[in-house]
């Protein structure tokens, strides 16, 4: 009985209305302009550039150039992906968290996806993410951005309820005893 009474006292301070953190939806709404830019303006620019290049060098040459860049990019993405995978395995074997290599992996994935999108602008962005020299510069900029977001409290942490004992909503998580 005493154990159940303590459990009831612990659960009185729980506020289930604060279980869901709406900071993530605020982040999406704040960055809606980037999404509009990505899905409307960028394809329009890609189309205009493809038409311009096609009128100068011909339709078949333009298609061949886009396919050639895609094939070269896919080969480069594969090579760089395996190289980063080897670095991740090496870091893990030495007991080091491979955070830089994981960021490299995500950037290579993003570069590969950009190269799958037909167009010259996304091909250039994809290739910039695949070459190690340019990727290092972009990674430096991303780390600075992440650090400033952390300092300003803009980073949203998603974790399991058992991961921390004190929540931002002012209530305490409790572990129910298993019966």
pLDDT score recorded for residue 176: 56
Bridge partners for 172 per DSSP: 166
pLDDT score recorded for residue 34: 80
Short-list 33, 52, 34, CA closest to 121: 52
pLDDT score recorded for residue 124: 94
Residue 131's alpha-carbon distances to 78, 91, 108, in angstroms, are: 12, 21, 9
pLDDT block averages, 10 residues each, the chain of length 179: 49 48 60 80 93 95 93 93 95 90 94 91 95 94 87 64 48 55
pLDDT score recorded for residue 167: 47
Bridge partners for 166 per DSSP: 172
pLDDT score recorded for residue 33: 80
Short-list 97, 98, 108, CA closest to 132: 108
Note the pTM of the prediction, 2 decimals: 0.67
Residue 55's alpha-carbon distances to 60, 61, 102, 172, in angstroms, are: 11, 10, 41, 65
Short-list 11, 165, 46, CA closest to 116: 46
Q: Which residue has the tokens 């974790």?
A: 159
């Amino acid at each position: 009985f005493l154990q159940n009474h303590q459990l009831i006292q612990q659960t009185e301070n729980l506020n289930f209305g604060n279980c869901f953190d709406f900071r993530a939806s605020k982040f999406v709404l704040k960055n809606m302009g980037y999404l509009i830019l990505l899905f409307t303006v960028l394809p329009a620019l890609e189309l205009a550039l493809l038409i311009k290049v096609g009128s100068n060098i011909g339709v078949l040459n333009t298609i061949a150039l886009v396919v050639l860049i895609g094939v070269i990019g896919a080969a480069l993405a594969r090579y760089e992906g395996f190289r980063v995978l080897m670095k991740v395995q090496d870091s893990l074997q030495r007991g080091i968290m491979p955070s830089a290599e994981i960021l490299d992996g995500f950037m290579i994935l993003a570069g590969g996806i950009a190269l799958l999108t037909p167009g010259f602008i996304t091909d250039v962005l994809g290739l910039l993410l695949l070459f190690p020299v340019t990727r290092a510069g972009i990674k430096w900029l991303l780390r600075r951005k992440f650090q400033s977001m952390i300092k300003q409290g803009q980073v949203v942490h998603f974790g399991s309820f058992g991961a921390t004992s004190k929540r931002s909503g002012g209530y305490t998580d409790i572990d129910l005893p298993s019966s």
